[in-house]
Structure 1
Amino acid sequence: MAEFVTLETSKDHPGVGTILINRPPMNALNRQIQEELTAAADEASTRDDIKAVVVYGGPKVFAAGADIKEMEAMSFADMSKVARRLQGGLGAIASIPKPTVAAITGYALGGGLEVALGADRRIAGDNAKLGTPEVLLGVIPGGGGTQRLARLVGPARAKDIVFTGRFVGADEALQIGLVDEVVAPDEVYNAALAWAGKFAGAASVALAAAKAAIDEGLDTDLETGLKIEAHLFASLFATDDRAIGMKSFIENGPGKAEFTGK
């Protein structure tokens, strides 16, 4: 059973799973947490009762980075063996084929920000501080930060954040697109649940296809992206949800279909 990362559901928010990181006081992301994040993401991906996912570090802090004490004694040979696993653990949220949202309170730094960057949406408290201070330790972001951050805010802004190691406040993060919504700290989790809850009754196969089309398309040229889109679009005509959705639209108008997720 996982010690620091759990996947929870609630009757009050059907269809929404919460991946909770709980390693007080700062949720330092050691190798055990990285492995547990991967396991939680795998479980959320395969459970039919979970349609969308919130990743949350609790009301005080999202995650203040990797466990530096654990890394300090590692050699080049040591890190070479585990660097890709570290990327996989900190980027595990990105592998979930469902809508995901990071609920950020307090610090989301280094590996913590890298976890949040794997989500489809980021909602932050107005007390949030985000950043990649790894350069101040003589290294670079190694959990996907250089790649996902640059794709999200552009290379120039990403270089400023990575090169300086500075903290980005909530208002600036919203302005540059690093987060998508800023609310009061005690409303962060509820706002994330509300967004994720929109997809409880949605056509989950279509959502997975939309997510794959966008994410895979961004990693290639336009023509290849269009081919990916066309293939995924056509594949949805083999689903029950497509038949249900179109029939409901014709008979009852938009937005009234009751999908089965098949």
Structure 2
Amino acid sequence: MPDTPVDLSYDGPLAVVTFHSPPLNLFTPAVMDALASALGQVADSGARGLLIQAEGRAVSAGVGVNFFATLDAVSGAAVWRDWLQVVHALEDLPIPTVFAAHALCLTAAFEISLACDLLLAAESARFGLVETVVGLTPSMGGPQRLVERAGPARARELIYTGELFDAATLERWNVVNRVLPDDGFREAAHAFVLRLANGPTRAHAATKLITATAARDGARAADDLTPLVSGALFASDDLQGAVSSFLADGPGKATYTGR
């Protein structure tokens, strides 16, 4: 693993971003700058899926508290504006994005996971928004994205208590999408996202846009958008090839190139 806080690699159409800042993968401005750079490269690469993961005994123990000690009201607001731009860049990628949490996942890392389309967790993973210990509220978009997944009451419970929650509990609350066994978790998560990356990329982008519109503006707004974005898929190579494959060989045999 390169001596950088964020590593970017590729497996065919799949981009893999790995946090690597031992021992606890603490978030700092340097880590966020490196993440922003990696996401920019992914956006320009033609990748058709993104996996975000971490190396080490923790996904992340959160933001380095030493950094908080340097902030005041003005500089603190500026930091959150900058870091939310990174979150938005992740959300705006028109490809499936999946966060794989293998262990303890706190504060900034948890908030980044909530900006991904899907969240996979190992059985022993634990999650927490523990900013209450320093008198802060999560400020990288976590509260509002928890509301989308679990509702406002659950979001407040996670944040007010500052407790750690296991993967099974958060799966019940619709925060975690799937809980996978600890043994072989990294390989299983990678295979899952690689399958998405090899799928109908433009259809996935349409799905992402429609569901995001529905969450933000309601079902009728998504209805208004659907004919435009779904109709355009009929001009794609992937749909035309998949239809031909279906008619000739039956379902499930089409391959996709992302065009």
Q: TM-score range by the shorter chain?
A: over 0.9
Q: Does residue 30 of the first structure (1) align with residue 28 of the second (2)?
A: yes
Could you tell me how far apart the structure 2 residues matched to 1:125 and 1:206 are? 28
- Report the counterpart of residue 61 of structure 1 in structure 2: 58
| Structure 2 segments unaligned to the other structure (5+ residues) | none
Matched residues, number: 258
Is the CA contact (8 Å cut-off) linking 1:20 and 1:57 kept in structure 2?
yes
- Report the counterpart of residue 213 of structure 2 in structure 1: 216
Deviations 1:18-57 (A, max 9, x none): 1000111111111111121122122223322x32221111
- Report the counterpart of residue 40 of structure 1 in structure 2: 38
Is the CA contact (8 Å cut-off) linking 1:45 and 1:98 kept in structure 2?
no
The Cα shift of 1:111 comes to 0.6
- Report the counterpart of residue 160 of structure 2 in structure 1: 163
Could you tell me how far apart the structure 2 residues matched to 1:167 and 1:88 are? 27
The within-5 A match list for 1:139-178 is 139-178=136-175
Could you tell me how far apart the structure 1 residues matched to 2:154 and 2:84 are? 22
The Cα shift of 1:199 comes to 2.5
**Any idea what SS the aligned residue of 1:218 has?**
helix
After the TM superposition, which parts of structure 1 deviate over 4 Å for at least 4 consecutive aligned residues? none
Q: Does residue 6 of the first structure (1) align with residue 7 of the second (2)?
A: yes
- Cα gap change, 1:2/1:24 in structure 2, threshold over 3 Å: closer, same or farther? closer
- Report the counterpart of residue 21 of structure 1 in structure 2: 19
Amino acid at match of 1:7: L
Q: Kindly report the root-mean-square deviation, in angstroms, between the aligned alpha carbons of the 2 structures.
A: 1.9
The within-5 A match list for 1:114-193 is 114-193=111-190
Is the CA contact (8 Å cut-off) linking 2:22 and 2:56 kept in structure 1?
no
Deviations 1:45-88 (A, max 9, x none): 3322x322211112421112122211212111112223211122
Is the CA contact (8 Å cut-off) linking 1:88 and 1:143 kept in structure 2?
no
Is the CA contact (8 Å cut-off) linking 1:123 and 1:188 kept in structure 2?
no
TM-score (norm 2): 0.92
Could you tell me how far apart the structure 2 residues matched to 1:90 and 1:24 are? 22
Deviations 1:97-121 (A, max 9, x none): 2112211122111111001111222
| Structure 1 segments unaligned to the other structure (5+ residues) | none
TM-score (norm 1): 0.91
- Cα gap change, 1:92/1:69 in structure 2, threshold over 3 Å: closer, same or farther? farther
